[in-house]
Amino acid sequence: MDKILITGAAGRVGTAVRPFLRERFALRSFDLRPVTDGGPGEEVVVGDLNSARDLAAALEGVDAVLHLACAIGLELSFEESLDASYRATIALLEATRRAGVRRFVYASTHHVFGAHRRDGFDPHALPLAPDAYYGLGKAFGELACSLYAHRFSLQTLVVRIGNADPTVSDDRVLRLWVSARDLAQLFAIGLSHPGIAFEVVYGVSICPSPLFPDPVAERLGYQPLDRAEDHLDPAFLPYDDMPARLGRDYVGGAYATVELPRHLEEDA
């Protein structure tokens, strides 16, 4: 079995997908906080992505990297995102190159398009439009991956994750939801498909009127198994019942409507 380094392994997405990935790969699960639910054959490592020593040790003997770690939050400031979403991504990519690891999967987000309105949205025809500092950091990460893929032939799959909550909370999420099982399938494609140089796909399950139809993922062999309509939350909100604060008309939902934290304080 190939050995995979997973960063951010103790986070919500990492915790959800690791049981599926353990079926195919030997995992080295890396995070600032310890993973407490490791399974058979899973190696748990506590470390800092901005430590050269920690990165070198984490990458020793691995065949591929799945980069989940990031700073996330509706009210995340730019400064709060710098270490986890910018510096750590560059540090990991460079350490991956130096370690001779040839395969990299980057967990991005639909929030790189979040400021677009849902009506008439087409991800294949519109430019990136991050909705807040979380999405901006992910857009940076995508470009950083492109740099290393094209300059250093690092085989890279960028997965723009829809909504990976356990249940579908409202009408917007219904059109971009992804199950843990389907997301793990996409990650596995990125970690093992021989034909990838640099590709961007969308992490969504089977959704009605999907915001992110994805011929590239289909070409790579992705076959989603789960339907968003089968996982509605008991408190599911139809479009007409969604309050304005949830950003029902935007791809990014509430992230597109919340006030951005100030980057610099005003001069006294």
Q: Assess whether 134 carries a catalytic annotation.
A: yes
Average of per-residue pLDDT values in the chain: 96
Q: What percent of the chain has pLDDT over 90?
A: 96
pLDDT of 1 = 79
7 with 65: CB under 8 angstroms?
yes
Query: Of the residues 134, 148, 222, 250, which is catalytic?
Result: 134
How far apart CA 256 and CA 245 sit, in angstroms, is 9
Helix ranges (DSSP H) in 155-229: 171-174, 180-192, 215-219
**What's the predicted TM-score (pTM) here?**
0.96
Is domain 3-256 classified as CATH 3.40.50.720?
Answer: yes
Tokens read off for 251? 């791809």
The mean pLDDT of 85-110, rounded to a whole number, is 98
Helix ranges (DSSP H) in the chain: 12-21, 52-59, 78-81, 88-99, 133-152, 171-174, 180-192, 215-219
Q: What is the largest CA-CA distance in the chain?
A: 60
Confidence of residue 268 (pLDDT cuts 50, 70, 90): very low
Q: Where are the domains of the chain?
A: 3-256
Q: At what angle do helices 12-21 and 180-192 cross, to 10 degrees?
A: 70
How far apart CA 192 and CA 7 sit, in angstroms, is 17
Per-residue pLDDT reduced to its tens digit, 30-63: 999 999 999 998 999 999 999 999 999 999 999 9
Of 20, 25, 27, 7, give the one whose Cα is nearest residue 181. Answer: 20
The mean pLDDT of 66-79, rounded to a whole number, is 95
